Amino acid sequence: MNLRNVLVAMACSMAVLLAGCAQDVDDAAPVPTDGQTDERAEVTTPALTAPPTTSPEDEAEQQIQGVLEDFVADWDNYRATTSDYHADDEGQWVVDLVDSWPLDLDAYNLLLDWAGRWSTAGMELRGESMIVSHDVVVIGSEDGEPEHAESEACLDMTELEPFDYDGQAVDLADDATQYQAWNITWANVPDAGWTLIDIDVTVDEPCEA
């Protein structure tokens, strides 16, 4: 093969290679334009949402629920440890104890009476009261701030067991007070928060959740 034929063959080979490369370029995915890139970003970017907000009434209800839970736990604890204070004949510890609870007005007087009676009952109640239901039914506000409320609670006290100060179980013939319905009036007291100011207690049928 002379030199001319070799050059012709090489030229043909280069033409075939260039044609193949051009075909590969045509088959490649097109490079997205700026507009296409922005559109794709808009589809994949999640929308921003504002965080949920809590209304003053919702916050007040949560606080009231928490105050009652803590108070009932303290009341249970007192009745389970009455013998620890029995030697204090003057009973000042009862006043100090009730003073530490979130109580005022009629509710304060009621619990002072209850605590005083338990201090001389000669027995303790061990166990835990269950707040089966507690519904805040009214919240009153002034200038947008909740200031008073009413709630209804039902307490199941069937798990409480009576013992005398020697640790012996006591058989109580009357178990009518194992369920109690509390209708509570609340006040949002400055520097003290939600406070029970009245408790209307009635012996009720077993609580319904």
Domains of the chain plus CATH, in order, are 56-203 (3.10.450)
pLDDT at 46: 62
Asked if the model's pLDDT at residue 79 lies above 70, the reply is yes
More confident residue, 12 or 38: 38
Four-residue CA torsion sign, 116, 120, 121, 126: positive
pLDDT band at 92 (very low <50, low <70, confident <90, very high): confident
CA distance linking residue 159 with residue 169, whole number of Å: 14
pLDDT at 88: 64
Q: What is the mean pLDDT of residues 147-152?
A: 98
Assigned token pair, 206:
């077993």
Asked if the model's pLDDT at residue 73 lies above 90, the reply is yes
Longest Cα–Cα distance of the chain, Å, equals 132
Closest CA to 207 of 151, 134, 152, 156: 156
Q: Which amino acid is at 167?
A: G
* Out of 36-45, 60-69, 89-98, 180-189, least confident range: 36-45
CA distance linking residue 146 with residue 148, whole number of Å: 6
pLDDT at 127: 95
Closest CA to 165 of 125, 126, 123: 123
Mean pLDDT value across the chain: 82
pLDDT band at 38 (very low <50, low <70, confident <90, very high): low
Four-residue CA torsion sign, 91, 94, 100, 104: negative
Assigned token pair, 171:
């058989």
pLDDT at 163: 95
Q: Are 125 and 147 in contact (CB under 8 A)?
A: no
pLDDT at 31: 56
Asked if the model's pLDDT at residue 113 lies above 80, the reply is yes
